[in-house]
Structure 1
Amino acid sequence: MRVLSFSRFATWFRATHTANPRGSRIAFLAVLTAIVLLMSVKYAVKIAKPGDSGQQSRSAFLRWRQMVNGVFAGENIYVGVNEYPNPPIMAVLLRPFTALPPTVGALTWFYTKVLLAVLSAVWAFRLCRGQPNLSVSSEERGKDQRQPTPPSPLPKGKGELAREVSEIGTTRRDRSFSPFPSGRGDGGVGSSQNAGGFALDLARAVAIMLCLPPLLGDLSHNNVNIFILFLVMGCLEAFRRRLDTLAGLTLALAIACKVTPALFVAYFAWKRCWRVLGATFVGLALWLAVVPGLTFGWNHNRELMEGWYALMVERPLLKGEITTEHPNQAVTGFVYRLFTYSPSYIVYPDNIPTPAEYHNLTDIGRPAAWVIVKALTACFALAVVFLCRWPVRGPNDARQGWRFATECGLICLGMLLFSERTWKHHAVVLLLPLAALTYAVAVVELPRRVRAFLIGVLVASFVLMAGPGMLAGRAADLAMVYGTHTIAFVLQTLALGTLLACRSGRVNDVCGSRSAARETIPI
């Protein structure tokens, strides 16, 4: 009976969307807007309460506000009890917000990140979208534009879809070029196209809902991770538009603010996108040396960079100081926490880190754990080399589509898995991998088992990432101890790898009909 009721609800929901797709989208956006407004009210109430020090410090922005203002007063925020995790350029970017009163600055940064998240989502879904068949020469395309082919009479018995195609004068190639319909075409062709738009709108909605926990978590914490997501997606959007110099400069800013986007340097090197790489290296000099040097002075900026390097690069990479506390969901923290005698809980009496609890399953020793982490990193790199084969260098190579989005999503997952430390709100970059997976489930023709596996990964990811937030404090921490987010990252990595390995993938046309024309994706 429950299955019947759910089936009726699904039928009613799809019919409602087909009849009024724009109204359904507006309703979904209204729900998201209400959630964000409620979150902002909750955040405003939280930051109004003073912290243990008697000052407003109940969010990352307010804690870093004092450091950012301090660095402009000549302080070194990377030594002593202060451990500012980002390079000096991040302080320069946050200065307009930290110069405001605490509550005003925090809420301004909050709503700025909401806008950045919206833009990132738009760019992520646009990256998944296909584009016209580029195998046709430019002369032929120009000839087609100058002399459009009139619709030829279609024989009887081809069905309603064939009659609609004849009426609008659309050829097979034109009709199937964009499985991700634009807003201009949504709902304007007929019920068949609206039905296809339902699957795509559902894919977008599912991707947003799956990524909502880390997005709301970063908004509540008021960290900078959504800003990093915005820079990464901005780089890919510029690359999609063939603005390689802008893509490189944007990627350089993302790396200068947080190191992990440097994985895209290796990706673009593998793709032999030399203009992007050249602009990236120029941008690194600009964002790490020139801009902060002009802001703080060259000598002071050198001291700041030396302090940041010692804190965030030398300690974890050269000295082997691994963060094994339960919030760390990176592979490094997961392996060391569960397979070596390393603390999962640390307390700080008098600012002295003191191990409090251990939950390791065994103790293989730190050298063996180091080998395991490096082996997993090498396996990931080999997977990228063998799976990421989508051509992007040629003038006619598509820099968008579900395969390219899947490749970039794989790199985003590498940013989370192989960072020195990954908190749960760092997972905002999952927006692109989730968009690629949901898009593939919606419009890509895949073997039934592969499709079932992808759906299972999406469901499991939501349970693993949203589940700890629904538990009590101690239970939620224990879930993080055993790496719920790490497992979700690994599952999504396997799903993306499986998707890239499916060489027979086809994309349904705009109308969403399996019996209609289809476009084979070149490998």
Structure 2
Amino acid sequence: MPEAGPRRHVLAVGAVIMVIQLVRIIQRGVGDFKLHWTIGGYLIRGEFLYGNAGWYRGYGGTDFPYPPIWGIVHAPLALFPRAVAQTLLYPLYLIAFVVLLEVLNRLSLPHLPVDRKRKFWLTTAAVVLASRFLIRDLPECGVNLALVAMAWGAVLLWRARRDRLGAVVLGTATALKCTPALFIAWFLWKRQWRIASWSAAVALAMSVAPALVLGPTEFTRTTAFWMHNLYRGASQTDPLESTLGPVSVQNMSLKGALARYLMHVPEGHRSRLAGPLHIDFLELDAETARLTINLLFLVAGVGVLALYRFRAGRNEESMLWEAAGISLMILLLSPITWGQHCVGVLPALFLLVRAHDSGRPLERWMYAFVGVWAFVLLGLNRGFVGREFTLLLDSYRLQTWLIAGLLGVTLRCRALCLRPEWASASPHIEHSDVTPKIVPLSRPAAEHS
């Protein structure tokens, strides 16, 4: 086939990137995996799970933002040297990547059909737009990509009316890392009681499961320490402080981004880049800035809840755009958002590319936004402009504002898809991948649980 050549070239580029990252892993141990491996080692050696070692010295211990079950999961890997363990886990990235793309494809096919010949290139376009964050998750061996795949896999299972299995997947993801709990809250708000309640039950059961390994006394001590540090971070009165201490320029949390513009950032602070190119905009005191940020969050939250308030059928397109919005809100609302966490942008970009190809009437400003996204995240990356200029851009939180803008695009598409002209714009697709066996539809008479 004449198209096979270009496809092989694309796949070859992807393979080269994965090999390069694997070499960096073996040689230098890049990424946060060493923290995950360390906490697993503490468990095997019978030491306190959040011992005072590692990068977070002075802020309560090693890797303490993760729950105790994180140590249980990584304990088997701690039996090997760090480089060997990271190499053994590395294939998880490829598995999570393929699973997530397949889940997104199955969810979108009934609404955004695509010709088989075009599916590969449309997927490639979405992956390229998200590549800055996807590459950053490679040293983490795809754990963040796996969590996104689990959350969206739960959505696919829910749409297929397999609520129990979906709850197991979503509950497990929530136990491993708290942020997928926003999907449980979304299901609850949409009055999908079964998957919401069962997911919460699974998350609770998985969260207490480490007691079987640690014992009741040590588990209670470990969990109390973990929750205390999370509470301490959440109750900070200074918006420029987080669970890990001062908010750094690489932290893409929306709270930190707003604080950067509302407050004076002192010399030497991790949110300030040294040199004359730093500009303070407002100089509110910490308490006023905190109240202002909380008010902005409240207004935005009420607006999203009002937009999402209508109960929709399991197979309606609006649910996909809402779920994509949830993935983006997780990144913005989390107090700690690193580049590897931002693989959560992929579902929204995937849907946007498919909507364009399906002839949906996207608005002009959306195309302009995608152009800005590509210019900043692909053109102004470290490989082209250098580390210092990249840190300068990070200090102004451009990536945070782009994610917020993508959320705006997603919410607008959610509103547009409810209009009759949205669906009528879909072109006729020959040889589509849509088949009833692959994409189960919910029964019309039983749309809601």
Q: TM-score, normalised by structure 1?
A: 0.72
Tell me what 1:121 maps to.
101
**RMSD between aligned residues:** 2.9
1:64 aligns with 2:22: no
Residue 130 of structure 1 deviates from its aligned partner by: 1.0
Tell me what 1:465 maps to.
377
Tell me what 2:124 maps to.
205
Tell me what 1:497 maps to.
411
Tell me what 2:305 maps to.
385
Please tell me whether the aligned partners of residues 252 and 337 of structure 2 are also in contact (alpha carbons under 8 angstroms): yes
How far apart are the structure 1 equivalents of 2:201 and 2:358? 39
Q: 2:82 aligns with which of 95, 102, 127?
A: 102
1:375 aligns with 2:295: yes
CA displacement 1:5-56 (0-9 Å, x = unmatched):
xxxxxxxxxxxxxx75566545433332232223222332333xxxxxxxxx
Tell me what 2:393 maps to.
479
CA displacement 1:71-122 (0-9 Å, x = unmatched):
3333223364323121011111122222222211111122222221221122
Residue 407 of structure 1 deviates from its aligned partner by: 1.1
How far apart are the structure 2 equivalents of 1:423 and 1:256? 20
1:269-418 alignment to 2 at 5 Å?
269-289=188-208, 291-317=209-235, 321-322=241-242, 323-343=246-266, 346=269, 360-388=280-308, 391-392=311-312, 397-398=314-315, 401=317, 403-418=318-333
Please tell me whether the aligned partners of residues 325 and 337 of structure 1 are also in contact (alpha carbons under 8 angstroms): no
| Segments ≥4 residues shifted beyond 6 Å | 353-358
Residue 223 of structure 1 deviates from its aligned partner by: 6.9
How far apart are the structure 2 equivalents of 1:99 and 1:510? 55
The alignment partner of 1:505 has SS state of helix
How far apart are the structure 1 equivalents of 2:38 and 2:272? 26
How far apart are the structure 2 equivalents of 1:298 and 1:20? 63
Residue 206 and residue 375 in structure 1: after superposition, are their counterparts in 2 closer, same or farther (change >3 A)?
Answer: farther
CA displacement 1:493-516 (0-9 Å, x = unmatched):
11112212222312524438xxxx
Q: Which runs of 5+ in 2 are unaligned?
A: 431-443, 445-449
How far apart are the structure 1 equivalents of 2:68 and 2:150? 17
Q: 1:77 aligns with which of 42, 49, 66?
A: 49
How many aligned positions are there? 411
Residue 302 of structure 1 deviates from its aligned partner by: 1.4
How far apart are the structure 1 equivalents of 2:357 and 2:338? 30
Q: Which runs of 5+ in 1 are unaligned?
A: 1-18, 48-57, 132-177, 187-196, 348-352, 513-521
How far apart are the structure 2 equivalents of 1:491 and 1:361? 21
How far apart are the structure 1 equivalents of 2:398 and 2:291? 23
Please tell me whether the aligned partners of residues 39 and 50 of structure 2 are also in contact (alpha carbons under 8 angstroms): no
How far apart are the structure 2 equivalents of 1:243 and 1:215? 29
1:441 aligns with 2:359: no
The alignment partner of 2:348 has SS state of helix
Q: 1:454 aligns with which of 359, 366, 382?
A: 366
1:126-141 alignment to 2 at 5 Å?
126-130=106-110
Please tell me whether the aligned partners of residues 96 and 145 of structure 2 are also in contact (alpha carbons under 8 angstroms): yes
Q: 2:429 aligns with which of 504, 508, 511?
A: 511
Q: TM-score, normalised by structure 2?
A: 0.83
Residue 61 of structure 1 deviates from its aligned partner by: 1.3
1:442 alignment partner AA: D
Please tell me whether the aligned partners of residues 44 and 78 of structure 2 are also in contact (alpha carbons under 8 angstroms): no
1:263 aligns with 2:182: yes
Structure possessing the higher radius of gyration over alpha carbons: 1
The alignment partner of 2:75 has SS state of helix
Residue 79 and residue 45 in structure 1: after superposition, are their counterparts in 2 closer, same or farther (change >3 A)?
Answer: closer
CA displacement 1:428-467 (0-9 Å, x = unmatched):
11111111111111114215xx0x3222222222333332
How far apart are the structure 2 equivalents of 1:265 and 1:317? 23
Tell me what 1:4 maps to.
none
How far apart are the structure 1 equivalents of 2:7 and 2:402? 28
